[in-house]
Amino acid sequence: MKIYLYDTTLRDGCQGEGISFSLEDKLKVATKLDWLGIDYIEGGWPGSNPKDKEFFRRARRQRWQGRLCAFGSTRRPNLAAEQDKNLRAIVEAGVPVATIVGKSWDFHVLTALETSLAENLAMIRQSIAFLKGYGLEVVYDAEHFFDGYHANADYALATVRAAAEAGADWVVLCDTNGGSLPHEVEEIVHQVKKVLPVRLGVHTHNDSAVAVANALAAVRAGVEQVQGTVNGLGERCGNADLCAIIPNLQLKMGHCCLSEEQLARLTEVSRYVNEIANLVPQANQPFVGQGAFAHKAGVHVSAILKHDGTYEHISPEKVGNRRRVLVSELAGTSNIVYKARELGLDIEPSAEGRRLIELVKELEHKGYQYEGAEASLELLMRRALGLYRPAFVLETLQVLVEKRAQDLSVSVAVIKVRVGNQVVHTAAEGNGPVNALDNALRKALESFYPVLKGMRLTDYKVRVLDEKDGTGAKVRVLIESQDAEGSWSTVGVSENIIEASWQALVDSMDYALLKRQKTAAKDARVAGEEG
Residues 474 and 514 placed together within one structural domain of the fold: yes
Q: Degrees (nearest 5) of the Cα angle 318, 323, 326?
A: 165
Residues 71 and 203: their CA atoms lie apart, in Å, by 14
Enclosing domain of residue 300 = 294-365
| Residue 398 reports pLDDT greater than 70 | yes
**Region 439-465 average pLDDT:** 90
Residues 201 and 137 placed together within one structural domain of the fold: yes
Where does 93-116 have alpha helices with state H? 106-108
CATH number at residue 418: 3.30.160
- From 56-60, 144-148, 400-404, the region with the lowest mean pLDDT: 400-404
Please check whether residue 267 lies inside any domain of the structure. yes
Q: Determine what percent of the chain falls in helix, strand and coil, rounding each to the nearest 5.
A: 45, 20, 35
**Region 30-58 average pLDDT:** 95
Binned at pLDDT 50, 70 and 90, residue 524 comes out as low
Residues 6 and 8: their CA atoms lie apart, in Å, by 7
Q: Which residues pair with 225 in a beta bridge?
A: 4, 201
pLDDT tens-place string over residues 492-516 = 999 898 999 999 999 999 999 988 8
pLDDT tens-place string over residues 68-102 = 999 999 999 999 999 999 999 999 999 999 999 99
* The predicted structure's pLDDT at residue 109: 96
Contact 102, 84 (CB under 8 A): no
Give the end of a domain, one of 417, 448, 479.
448
| Residue 445 reports pLDDT greater than 60 | yes
Please check whether residue 283 lies inside any domain of the structure. no
* The predicted structure's pLDDT at residue 305: 64
Is the four-CA dihedral 111, 117, 118, 122 of positive or negative sign? positive
Residues 251 and 107 placed together within one structural domain of the fold: yes
Comparing 514 with 522, which gets the higher pLDDT? Answer: 514
Please check whether residue 247 lies inside any domain of the structure. yes
Residues 80 and 59 placed together within one structural domain of the fold: yes
Residues 270 and 298 placed together within one structural domain of the fold: no
Residues 242 and 485: their CA atoms lie apart, in Å, by 28
* The predicted structure's pLDDT at residue 515: 86
Mean pLDDT of the chain: 89
Residues 493 and 503: their CA atoms lie apart, in Å, by 8
| Residue 330 reports pLDDT greater than 80 | no
Residues 213 and 196: their CA atoms lie apart, in Å, by 23
CATH number at residue 481: 3.30.160.340
* The predicted structure's pLDDT at residue 384: 82
| Residue 297 reports pLDDT greater than 80 | no
Residues 355 and 304 placed together within one structural domain of the fold: yes
Q: What is the percent of the chain where pLDDT is above 90?
A: 65
CATH number at residue 202: 3.20.20.70
Amino acid occupying residue 252: K
pLDDT tens-place string over residues 239-293 = 999 999 999 999 999 999 999 999 999 999 999 999 889 888 898 999 999 878 8
Please check whether residue 374 lies inside any domain of the structure. no
8, 52, 54, 290 from 41: Cα distances, Å: 7, 13, 16, 26
Residues 346 and 441 placed together within one structural domain of the fold: no
* The predicted structure's pLDDT at residue 473: 77
**Region 452-480 average pLDDT:** 82
| Residue 520 reports pLDDT greater than 90 | no
Give the end of a domain, one of 212, 244, 276.
276
Please check whether residue 442 lies inside any domain of the structure. yes
**Region 215-236 average pLDDT:** 97
| Residue 382 reports pLDDT greater than 60 | yes
Residues 141 and 191 placed together within one structural domain of the fold: yes
Structure pTM?
0.73
Burial string for 229-247 (b: 16+ CB within 10 Å, else e) reads bbbbbbbeebbbbbbbbbb
- From 228-237, 297-306, 452-461, the region with the lowest mean pLDDT: 297-306
* The predicted structure's pLDDT at residue 104: 97
* The predicted structure's pLDDT at residue 155: 98
**Region 509-530 average pLDDT:** 77
Residues 493 and 368: their CA atoms lie apart, in Å, by 6
Please check whether residue 372 lies inside any domain of the structure. no
Please check whether residue 375 lies inside any domain of the structure. no
Residues 435 and 482 placed together within one structural domain of the fold: no
Residues 25 and 153 placed together within one structural domain of the fold: yes
* The predicted structure's pLDDT at residue 100: 97
Residues 481 and 339 placed together within one structural domain of the fold: no
For the chain, what is the domain count?
4
Binned at pLDDT 50, 70 and 90, residue 469 comes out as low
Give the end of a domain, one of 409, 426, 448.
448
* The predicted structure's pLDDT at residue 68: 97
* The predicted structure's pLDDT at residue 518: 79
Q: List strands edge to edge, sheet with 486-494.
A: 456-464, 475-483, 486-494
Residues 148 and 232 placed together within one structural domain of the fold: yes
Please check whether residue 310 lies inside any domain of the structure. yes
In the three-class reduction of DSSP (H, G, I as helix; E, B as strand; rest coil), residue 322 is classed as coil
Residues 141 and 173: their CA atoms lie apart, in Å, by 6
